[in-house]
Structure 1
Amino acid sequence: MRKKGLVIWIMSTLTVITLIHLIDSVNAFLFNNPTQLLQIYPILNTFLTQMSTQIYFYLSAATSAILWGITCIIAFDNPVELFLNKILSDAKQQSLDEAKVMDGKGELFDLMYEKMESDSETLSHVKDLIRNVRSEVREIAPIKVSMEKTRRDLSKITKQLITLEEKVFYPLVCHSCSHPVRADFKLCPYCGIALQLTEITISQ
């Protein structure tokens, strides 16, 4: 604030000096009076006194306006107001950003809700499928039991067929080694002894 006050004081002083020169130039330009202020400068007085009153008027008027404008800009440049405006602008921008974020989250929540509804429908469909599969399994269970019983019966029948095959193809028994032998064999293939053709029925 001290620097600002010092700058304003300097610019105001220069503005007043240029206004005094403007008054002197108006007096010389309108009333054809000799310029008086240009003679007070010890080094530049010879050059300045040769300048025409019209150029002196325009130059002093332009300089006064420029210095007055700069002084007003510096004087009305309030740092407290700028700080408050910056805070308000930041708060407004933050509220806009939060609104955008909330809109994005709202869309995300909508998508999540739609996803949950879709998952609920899918889960309901899966439950229906599981229920149908369970009912079908309950219906298949008696068939499985009957198939197991049929498999056991087939196993018994297979054993009986094997026994019957042995009785048909091997009706004789060797007296030496007691192995069953086919009826067309003359020698026992196990011990090599001549067979006595005595038909023996193999017991189960």
Structure 2
Amino acid sequence: MAYRENAKILKADCLADGVYEIWFETKDIAKAAKAGQFISVYSNDGSRMLPRPISICKVENNNLRIVFRVAGKGTEEFSKMKAGEYLDIQGPLGNGYDLGKIAAEIKAEGRSFDKAILFGGGIGVPPMLELARRLDCHKNVVVGYRNSQTFLKEDFEAVADTDVYIATEDGSVGTKGNVLDAVKQEKVEADAIFACGPTPMLRA
């Protein structure tokens, strides 16, 4: 079930060039959210009617965090918001990951579910954080960035039973190339794969 709320901003920060985070205090949305879902964020500018869909990055009790890249006037407005201000949001939206069902299906096939690879590329990195926090197995998180501005790296490293591998396009951190290059170089293996990122990355 999705809810629409006028949510208070608890925290708003810049994480990297053009990448921002907002923490919202919610009544129902955070409690109902599953890993992999998103919210629609509405502009306070009446001339922009369509909401912006943004993945849920992290949930803590009644609070939820989004991390987004400025890609137009709507997200530019959100990037300038301050703690104590309000935005209308709707969610949780999307199917998300039914982790209990996924684990049951894997085990029904006679396979183990002890290790998972989580691929995240660009702005597909944020939703992988809540997934890593909820998965009850060893996580190999492989995330790709343009350069050394590896936003959320420390958040992933703080998740229990998790190894983090970095790929950067310019080679400034970790493996030079994409997430698949990092997997090959580090010889990362797993029983299940979860991915979120640009279409070329998912096709590969």
**Relative contact order higher in (CA < 8 Å, ≥ 6 apart):** 2
- Select the structure that is richer in helix: 1
Normalized per residue, the structure richer in strand is 2
Normalised by the length of structure 2, the TM-score is 0.18
TM-score scaled by length of structure 1? 0.18
* Structure having the higher Rg: 1
